Amino acid sequence: MISVTEAQKLIIQNAKQLDTVTVDLENTFGYFLAEDLMAPINLPSFRQSAMDGYAFIHTGKTQLKIVGQVQAGDTQIPDLKEGEAIRIFTGAPVPDAADTVVIQEHTIRSGDELILERLPNRKANVRPVGEQITEGTHVLKKGHQVNEATIGFLAGLGITQIEVYRKPSVTILTTGNELQKPGTPLKPNHIYESNGIMLKNALSRIGITEVQISKAEDTLAATQEAVKKALQHSDVLLVSGGISVGDYDFVQKALLNNCVKEHFYKVNQKPGKPLWFGTTENRSVFGLPGNPASSLTAFYIYVLPHLHSRMGSLKPFLNERKAELTEDINNKIGKTLFLKAGVSTTKITPYTGQASSMLNTYALSNALLVVPETETALKTGDLVNYIDLSF
Ligand SMILES: Nc1nc2c(c(=O)[nH]1)N[C@H]1C(S)=C(S)[C@@H](COP(=O)(O)OP(=O)(O)OC[C@H]3O[C@@H](n4cnc5c(N)ncnc54)[C@H](O)[C@@H]3O)O[C@H]1N2
Ligand code: MOO
């Protein structure tokens, strides 16, 4: 059995980056850049007024004569001499000779006469060419995740398409004869299948939407066949359940029989000890424990960073932070514990109902409190690590 740290290392070492695609800028939210981006133009590309007011040549004089006007978008720009002013508006080009813009609130106008009640500093309210970015310089690095600000920024540079890493297609394969689709009255000794839809939504949260949910009966032949099919059309396979040691747990064998190379099986953690990870040349496979909370925790700690890494992220793990513990915790089993917890400002409280089968408290959690395998006890007031689930 390997440690959490070793397992996390292996899922990153074996994360083969997906190929790159050119995508229209408007559809790139959540993708990771596959290239360093250079600015094709200066921003701004001309000297811009930052305010509505008057452009003038700063000489110290406070009485000026208004000789013209320039509006945003104008291509004919009036000239001016010392002692003169041009009426100007935010975003308009500043006449070449002018070095300063005074805001209109600091002036008194009477016909063509302008009095500056307050003289601004020279260069005030004039955005120089390239103030934000100069043409030809690096603006964003490969591995940067595109957000709405990135899209706005790049659009402002006139960029319409960018090169990003492709997002993976995923199959979620649920196993278990006891599983029943929600929507019909529960048959005796059955449970509603919930991992499929939960994992699908966890994937959607990180922008992965090409997701199929399939199922297999608890036989080696059915599991093996379902694995084979999934590997034909998906980049990533998440198998739910059937990965423990019972007589009807066929997932490990089905994966090995499909020539998936095993990187690890079993991690020294609770929940999620019977976690399996393997790859083929281009595919990744996780055998997730069937217990719903184990499955979701394994998703946050291993599946998500692996997928992020394949998608080109340079910082694939969820953020780890620190908070003050509100109660004592014992760890007598020598495993790393991931406890469903609530963080409120600086304090963290583990919830009751930590069993791997329980999602009721997971639904309320915004953190996973991490108790390292080496810690036997944590005390109230200790500063402890947690994985931030509010991402
Ligand atoms: N002798 C041992 N038994 C078990 C061990 C062990 O080390 N030795 N590990 C336990 C741990 S820890 C876990 S976690 C589970 C993992 O078992 P499997 O991955 O084989 O999962 P199943 O047995 O198929 O199911 C476990 C549990 O989860 C429910 N389940 C399964 N799939 C779904 C689903 N899609 N939606 C909702 N609930 C699901 C299933 O009914 C079971 O109750 O093994 C322990 N046993
Ligand atoms: O480790 Mo299992 O995932 O606790 O129930």
pLDDT at 284: 98
pLDDT in tens, 155-195: 999 999 999 999 999 999 999 999 999 999 999 999 999 99
Cβ atoms of residues 367 and 389 within 8 Å: yes
In the prediction, which pLDDT does 313 show? 97
The pLDDT value given to residue 177: 95
Instruction: Tell me what pLDDT residue 9 has.
Output: 98
What is the per-residue pLDDT across 94-133, written as a single tens digit (0 to 9) for each?
999 999 999 999 999 999 999 999 999 999 999 999 999 9
Secondary structure letter of residue 192 according to DSSP: E
In whole angstroms, what is the distance from residue 337 CA to residue 387 CA?
12
What pLDDT sits at residue 88? 98
pLDDT tens across 53-80, in order?
Answer: 999 999 999 999 999 999 999 999 999 9
Which numbered ligand comes closest to the C-alpha of 292? 1
- Report the predicted TM-score, pTM, of the whole model to 2 decimal places: 0.93
Q: What is the pLDDT of residue 162?
A: 98
Residue 187: its pLDDT value, please? 96
This model of the complex carries an ipTM of 0.97
Give distance in angstroms: CA of 243 to centre of ligand 1. 8
| 357 C-alpha to ligand 1 centroid (Å) | 8
Strands ordered across the beta sheet of 53-56: 100-103, 53-56, 84-88, 63-70, 113-116, 107-110
- Cα 272 to ligand 1 centroid, rounded to whole Å: 9
- Check pocket membership of 26 for ligand 1, CB cut-off 6 A: no
Q: What is the pLDDT of residue 54?
A: 98
The rounded distance, in Å, linking the Cα atoms of 361 and 364 is: 5
Token duo for residue 69: 């006007």
Which residue CA neighbors atom 4 of ligand 2 most closely?
271
Angle formed at CA 351 by CA 348 and CA 355, multiple of 5 degrees: 135
The DSSP bridge partners found for residue 12 are: none
When pLDDT is cut at 50, 70 and 90, the band that residue 49 belongs to is: very high
Q: What are the C-alpha distances in Å from 57 to residues 64, 78, 266?
A: 10, 13, 74
Confidence band of 202 (pLDDT split at 50, 70, 90): very high
Hey, what domains does the chain have and what are their CATH numbers? Answer: 4-18+167-310 (3.40.980.10), 20-43+131-165 (3.90.105.10), 48-127 (2.170.190.11), 320-388 (2.40.340.10)
CB 244 within 8 A of CB 203: no
Q: What is the pLDDT of residues 262-283, one digit of tens each?
A: 999 999 999 999 999 999 999 9
Atom of ligand 2 nearest to the CA of 275: 3
pLDDT of residue 156: 98
Ligand 1 pocket, 356 CB below 6 A? yes
pLDDT score for 77? 96
For ligand 2, whether the C-beta of 273 sits within 6 Å is yes
Alpha-carbon distance 152 to 202, whole Å? Answer: 27
pLDDT at 118: 97
Give residue 287 CA to ligand 1 midpoint distance, Å: 11
The protein residue whose alpha carbon is closest to atom 45 in ligand 1 is 244
Q: Residues 330, 382: contact at Cβ < 8 Å?
A: no
